[in-house]
Amino acid sequence: MQTETPNELDSAKALAIWNEYQSTHDAQRLRGKAVGIDLETGEIHFGDTKFDIHQRLRADGRTPRLLFLRIGYDYYARVKPRKRYLD
């Protein structure tokens, strides 16, 4: 039996919060913006980038653990594999 790690459980919880939010709000008008989901409180924070969200929260004296996504996508940033050049 495979068990989930705390990170997987946190991510699943945050995604459930985000899906619930999207079911009651029109988030598609913000497509491409960053969203940070607080893993402790379930609060949702919006910004142009995750850096903007962190800066705003730090200015308020808060440093929560957040899961970041891009609105309209299932991820925040996609990493492209590096090309390997053989000698």
Nearest in space to 54 (alpha carbons), one of 29, 77, 78, 34: 34
pLDDT at 4: 59
More confident site: 28 or 5: 28
How many residues are there in the chain?
87
Tell me the residue type at 64: P
At residue 83, does pLDDT exceed 90?
no
Per the prediction, the chain carries an average pLDDT of 86
- For residue 34, the cross-strand partners are 47, 70
pLDDT, residue 47, reads 96
Q: Give the Cα-Cα-Cα angle 28, 63, 5 (nearest 5 degrees).
A: 75
Write out pLDDT tens, residues 45-62.
999 999 999 999 999 999
Q: Which ranges in the chain belong to alpha helices (H)?
A: 6-24, 50-59
Q: Considering the entire predicted model, what is its pTM?
A: 0.77
